[in-house]
Amino acid sequence: MDLDAVHHKFDVEKHVLNRIRPDAKTRKKVDAVVNELTSRLNAVITKWHLQAKVLLVGSCARDTYLRDSRDIDLFVLFPEDMPRQELEELGIKLGMEVMNGELRYAEHPYVHGTYRGFEVDIVPCYEIRDPEKKKSAVDRTPFHNQYVITHLKEEQKDEVRLLKRFLKGLGIYGAEAAVQGFSGYLCELLIIKYGSFRKVLESAWNWRANLYIWLEKEPGAKFNDPLIFIDPVDSNRNVASAVSVDALSHFIVAAGAYLKKPGIEFFFPKEKNLAMNIAREKLARYIHNAGTALIMVSASRPEKTEDIIAPQLKKMERVLVQNLSIAGFRVMRSFSFMLKRKMVVCIELESRTLTSMYLHAGPNVWIRNSEDFLKKYSNAGNVLIPPFISSGRWVVGLKRNYTDACKYLKENIGAWNIGKDLANQKITVYTAGAVKSVAELNQILQHLMPRFPWEAVHK
Amino acid sequence: MDLDAVHHKFDVEKHVLNRIRPDAKTRKKVDAVVNELTSRLNAVITKWHLQAKVLLVGSCARDTYLRDSRDIDLFVLFPEDMPRQELEELGIKLGMEVMNGELRYAEHPYVHGTYRGFEVDIVPCYEIRDPEKKKSAVDRTPFHNQYVITHLKEEQKDEVRLLKRFLKGLGIYGAEAAVQGFSGYLCELLIIKYGSFRKVLESAWNWRANLYIWLEKEPGAKFNDPLIFIDPVDSNRNVASAVSVDALSHFIVAAGAYLKKPGIEFFFPKEKNLAMNIAREKLARYIHNAGTALIMVSASRPEKTEDIIAPQLKKMERVLVQNLSIAGFRVMRSFSFMLKRKMVVCIELESRTLTSMYLHAGPNVWIRNSEDFLKKYSNAGNVLIPPFISSGRWVVGLKRNYTDACKYLKENIGAWNIGKDLANQKITVYTAGAVKSVAELNQILQHLMPRFPWEAVHK
């Protein structure tokens, strides 16, 4: 079958489901691992005489996981009156006892480990009665679990899978900082709300920013997020708070495009990476045609989780753009990405160099403190044009400290407050010609000339 | 006497008065010409059986003229009930009868001529009773005349002369479009208001923009001008309406500077023109140091009065700056000046060239008409980067029509609405290296690196 020619919605979705729905072998494996871990946890709980319950949550519990998914989330529920410190200590001890894990922190400590090929999280929480009165950040999760199990119909599970894979194809599946997209729980709620994958798309095509969506619980607060889906178990929480305006925008646009012409490439995008020579030539051609200047600033990648370094990379990008702008450079675009060993901020400038002279406007001449302005600039070394009057204001022509963006970055970046884990890394400033890795070239090209995942890329 | 060393106010002002106060010979000549013209006018009035009175107005009538002044203003007052057309025709006929003049128009026709070395205006007007109920634009003038004659004390006449010469030194004496400064009448009122030249300066040093000044008549209206001096004969008129914010600013700053350190150079500025070689070298050095791009657009000078072409030159400057900005060029400064044979607009750009590509932002993706944006830019020839999403909006990378400011100006200026008398003139676009005349070089330098009239210029 020529998959490129499959554009009828039923054929497309049937084909995709055949690829993403867990097969019998996968199900058996998942069930076995879940049962084994649950038994081990329960055994330790009994052995240690703990008052605690084990609860499978997440997509395995709701049977909405994709065939290639490797995530298992197990919660351990402790009584509400247990002191916080004890809960955390016991939860961690338990997790460490049943698998070879490591301690991680989100808002709350938990144990993460690899177990028989699965990525397993063991998370302690309180067993509370009212999810609007949670004691720790994760206490709501069992309620989410219960809500989905109760409300998601059997035939909707595959619809959730289609939506998840569709979002994966767009690169906006997941609420983590590096993605800022749609969480699994949000996918399930969208299917519960609208009924099916296609109905979600039909609805999304009519969304706009700052839209409120809810099930039974009406909004309990005002939200400033691009997309707002009121948590059915807590009206003060926005399930979609992680969704960035660009993730939302891509979803809206992709929904429209898919409804117009469905295709497998929405779920499984075409390979966009170009070979070294082609990529290098394409970048050179872009720079020649656009006439802009590309400057890359890279930091070696710290050995921390993506969730910790992704926001720092964004911060570094913001700090670089701000400082370049303050120094007079015209930033047209900026973007950042992570490679295996380094993190890169790429800045597109109108020009790498600036005029030496810039005009600096001071107070109106009739303002008394204009004397200070005159004193400051009458004999300073960087004055190219002594104070003169323009439209009633004092203006002075000053010599820039830096006219070359690369030099400016190299000599000043050390003094700026970039992400704390990045500040100690090796920082390199370079231009397009110095990009040596094909992965980096492809990332730069895809950001410079973005194509949608369902579109072919031009060589 | 070393005039550079004269900095005591009494010595300075005494010296200046000795140069500007009309001597006996000048007075005799002025009186003779005025008497002769008045007699000739009266003779014709009698001969033609007209009901009209001749009135000497202006600085000759008030004895506030400078020694080198050559202006004589004679008004012919007709009865209030004379039809407008008859008044204009008779006024012009009269003027033409007594001197070899030419017809000129301000708001109102009058005759201008050269008579025994003097520039003479003969202006017809109505003899009205209430200056707030004028019939033609100039009917108030006899009242101004009367007001000054009645209120200006004998010893204040020299104070007016000092103020006029001070303003001349600053290049802001005169209400005409090319100057946008202080009229003679405004100078007289300022002396009447504050008492003396120095008291005017002391007051001006504390002025700010949009300040109201008045004598007996309080403001009868709101004015948006930088300086407001309510006409003592018409509370609805601002005598200072011509004063630009820069003229006001220069006056304030000069007042402060003079009070701090008086000097003859305020009244008689030092020569600032440089010799050809020095000027050329100075301009080259400026461009080298500043790194900016200078572009000149000149039009041959139409044979019209300065009052007619000065606003057109300003308009041309504005139109060029606007169009360059719209096309993406970064205009740092612009200025314009008139030479004997041509008028020049000079524009200082950050760079003569631009990047080929610019980003054009469209609607938010959730706006329905974004379809039109996509249609327009999906296959257009000038698209370098097809539509992509940035911060929730559609953005497209387009190729500029022009990346070179000179080429852009040359090929488009013909289509722009510049001053009507300039549009038919020969327009030339050129850069600093092509400036051949020493007068033009000096004008450019003085605008690029403005020095105050009382300051020495650096070579």
Residues 189-208 of A with CB under 8 A from B: 207-208
CB contact under 8 A, A291 and B246: no
- Kindly report the nearest CA distance between residue A291 and chain B, in angstroms: 5
- Kindly report the nearest CA distance between residue B391 and chain A, in angstroms: 6
The DSSP symbol for B63 reads: T
B128 and B199 share one domain:
no
CB contact under 8 A, A365 and B392: no
- C-beta separation of B243 from B181 below 8 A: yes
Which of A348, A352, A365, A369 to substitute to test the interface with B, most B CBs within 10 Å?
A365
Residues of B whose CB is below 8 A from A357: 289-292
CB contact under 8 A, A355 and B292: yes
CB contact under 8 A, B385 and A359: no
User: Residue B457 has what pLDDT?
Assistant: 64
Q: How does strand B393-399 pair with strand B357-364? A: antiparallel
CB contact under 8 A, B246 and A351: no
- Residue B1 located in a structural domain: no
Contacts of A191 (CB under 8 A, 6+ apart): A152, A156, A159, A160, A163, A197, A200
| CATH of residue A192 | 1.10.1410.30
Residues of B whose CB is below 8 A from A351: 351, 355
| Identity of the residue in A249, A290, A389 whose CB atom sits nearest the CB atom of B397 | A290
Structural domains in chain B (count): 4
Whether chain B has a CB inside 8 Å of the CB on A291: the answer is yes
DSSP codes, B214-268: -SSSPP-S---SSEEEEETTEEEEETTTT--HHHHHHHHHHHHHHHHS--GGGTS
Domain boundary (A133, A148, A163) is at: A148
Nearest residue of chain A to residue B349 (CA atoms): A355
CB contact under 8 A, A245 and B391: yes
Q: In whole angstroms, what is the distance from residue B437 CA to residue B429 CA?
A: 15
Quick: pLDDT tens for B168-199: 999 999 999 889 999 999 999 999 999 999 99
| Identity of the residue in B250, B290, B450 whose CB atom sits nearest the CB atom of A357 | B290
Which of A389, A446, A455 to substitute to test the interface with B, most B CBs within 10 Å?
A389
CB contact under 8 A, A390 and B364: no
B424 and B324 share one domain:
yes
Whether chain B has a CB inside 8 Å of the CB on A361: the answer is no
Quick: pLDDT tens for B20-64: 999 999 999 999 999 999 999 999 999 999 999 999 999 999 999
Whether the predicted pLDDT of B458 surpasses 70:
no
Q: Hey, is B212 helix, strand or coil?
A: strand
Whether the predicted pLDDT of B374 surpasses 60:
yes
- C-beta separation of A338 from A301 below 8 A: yes
- Residue B146 located in a structural domain: no
A291 and A382 share one domain:
no
- C-beta separation of A122 from A76 below 8 A: yes
Quick: pLDDT tens for A311-320: 999 999 999 9
A59 and A97 share one domain:
yes
Among candidates B97, B79, B96, which has minimal Cα distance to B87? B79
Give the number of C-alpha atoms closer than 13 A to the C-alpha of residue A276, restricted to the C-beta side: 5
- Residue B86 located in a structural domain: yes
Quick: pLDDT tens for A279-305: 999 999 999 999 999 999 999 999 888
Burial class (CB in 10 A: 0-12, 13-18, 19+), B193: middle
A443 and A297 share one domain:
yes
Whether chain A has a CB inside 8 Å of the CB on B449: the answer is yes
Q: In whole angstroms, what is the distance from residue A200 CA to residue A258 CA?
A: 12
Which two tokens mark B176?
């005409």
Q: What are phi and psi of A253, to 5 degrees?
A: -65, -40
CB contact under 8 A, B450 and A388: yes
Quick: pLDDT tens for B410-437: 999 999 988 888 888 899 999 999 998 9
Residues 329-358 of B with CB under 8 A from A: 332-333, 350-351, 354-358
- C-beta separation of A232 from A213 below 8 A: no
Nearest residue of chain A to residue B386 (CA atoms): A449
Quick: pLDDT tens for B260-309: 999 999 999 988 889 999 999 999 999 999 999 999 999 999 988 888 89
Domain boundary (A233, A266, A299) is at: A266
| Identity of the residue in A250, A290, A356 whose CB atom sits nearest the CB atom of B389 | A250
- Give percent above pLDDT 90 in chain B: 83
| CATH of residue A383 | 3.30.70
Categorize the per-residue pLDDT at A405 as very low, low, confident or very high, splitting at 50, 70 and 90.
Answer: very high
A362 and A379 share one domain:
yes
CB contact under 8 A, B291 and A391: no
Categorize the per-residue pLDDT at B1 as very low, low, confident or very high, splitting at 50, 70 and 90.
Answer: low
Arithmetic mean of pLDDT, A427-431: 96
- Residue B13 located in a structural domain: no
User: Residue B136 has what pLDDT?
Assistant: 82
Q: In what helix (H) or strand (E) does residue B298 lie, and over which residues does it extend?
A: strand B293-300
User: Residue B3 has what pLDDT?
Assistant: 65
B262 and B303 share one domain:
no
B287 and B417 share one domain:
yes
Q: In whole angstroms, what is the distance from residue A7 CA to residue A16 CA?
A: 12
CB contact under 8 A, B389 and A246: yes
A363 and A408 share one domain:
no
Q: In whole angstroms, what is the distance from residue B441 CA to residue B430 CA?
A: 13
Whether the predicted pLDDT of A459 surpasses 70:
no
User: Residue A5 has what pLDDT?
Assistant: 67
CB contact under 8 A, A357 and B252: no
Alpha-carbon radius of gyration of chain A? 27
Among candidates B106, B104, B105, B124, which has minimal Cα distance to B114? B104
- C-beta separation of B181 from B175 below 8 A: yes
| Identity of the residue in B249, B358, B386 whose CB atom sits nearest the CB atom of A389 | B249
Whether the predicted pLDDT of B2 surpasses 90:
no
Q: What are phi and psi of A78, to 5 degrees?
A: -110, 160
Residues of B whose CB is below 8 A from A250: 389
Mean residue pLDDT of chain B comes to 93
Q: In whole angstroms, what is the distance from residue A229 CA to residue A200 CA?
A: 13
Mean residue pLDDT of chain A comes to 93
Nearest residue of chain A to residue B292 (CA atoms): A355
A186 and A292 share one domain:
no
A258 and A309 share one domain:
no
Q: Between B256 and A378, where is the model more confident?
A: B256
- C-beta separation of B238 from B230 below 8 A: yes
CB contact under 8 A, B207 and A249: no
Arithmetic mean of pLDDT, A146-155: 96
CB contact under 8 A, A389 and B355: no
How far is residue B28 CA from its own chain's centroid? Answer: 32
- Residue A250 located in a structural domain: yes
Burial class (CB in 10 A: 0-12, 13-18, 19+), A10: exposed
Nearest residue of chain B to residue A352 (CA atoms): B355
Dihedral over Cα of B375, B379, B384, B385: its sign: positive
- Kindly report the nearest CA distance between residue B438 and chain A, in angstroms: 21
Residue whose tokens read 């041959």: B300
User: Residue B369 has what pLDDT?
Assistant: 84
Q: What are phi and psi of A224, to 5 degrees?
A: -105, 15
Size of interface A-B (CB pairs under 8 A): 121
CB contact under 8 A, A450 and B388: yes
Q: In whole angstroms, what is the distance from residue B106 CA to residue B110 CA?
A: 8
- E strand spans, B2-115: 53-57, 71-78, 101-105, 109-115
B414 and B281 share one domain:
yes
- Kindly report the nearest CA distance between residue B149 and chain A, in angstroms: 33
Arithmetic mean of pLDDT, A127-150: 90
- Residue B207 located in a structural domain: yes
Residues of A whose CB is below 8 A from B246: 389-392
| CATH of residue A109 | 3.30.460.10
Which of B208, B318, B366 to substitute to test the interface with A, most A CBs within 10 Å?
B366
Nearest residue of chain A to residue B257 (CA atoms): A371
What percent helix, strand, coil does chain A show, rounded to 5?
Answer: 45, 20, 35
| Identity of the residue in A246, A385, A449 whose CB atom sits nearest the CB atom of B449 | A385
Q: Hey, is B65 helix, strand or coil?
A: coil
Contacts of A15 (CB under 8 A, 6+ apart): A3, A6, A264
User: Residue B379 has what pLDDT?
Assistant: 77
| Identity of the residue in B253, B358, B359 whose CB atom sits nearest the CB atom of A389 | B253
CB contact under 8 A, B289 and A357: yes
CB contact under 8 A, A365 and B253: yes
Domain that holds residue A27: 22-148
- Residue B206 located in a structural domain: yes
- Kindly report the nearest CA distance between residue B249 and chain A, in angstroms: 5
CB contact under 8 A, A392 and B351: no
Alpha-carbon radius of gyration of chain B? 27
Q: In whole angstroms, what is the distance from residue B373 CA to residue B361 CA?
A: 10
Which of B365, B378, B444, B457 to substitute to test the interface with A, most A CBs within 10 Å?
B365
Nearest residue of chain B to residue A370 (CA atoms): B253
- Residue B9 located in a structural domain: no
CB contact under 8 A, B448 and A207: no
Domain boundary (B208, B231, B266) is at: B266
Which two tokens mark B171?
């290049």
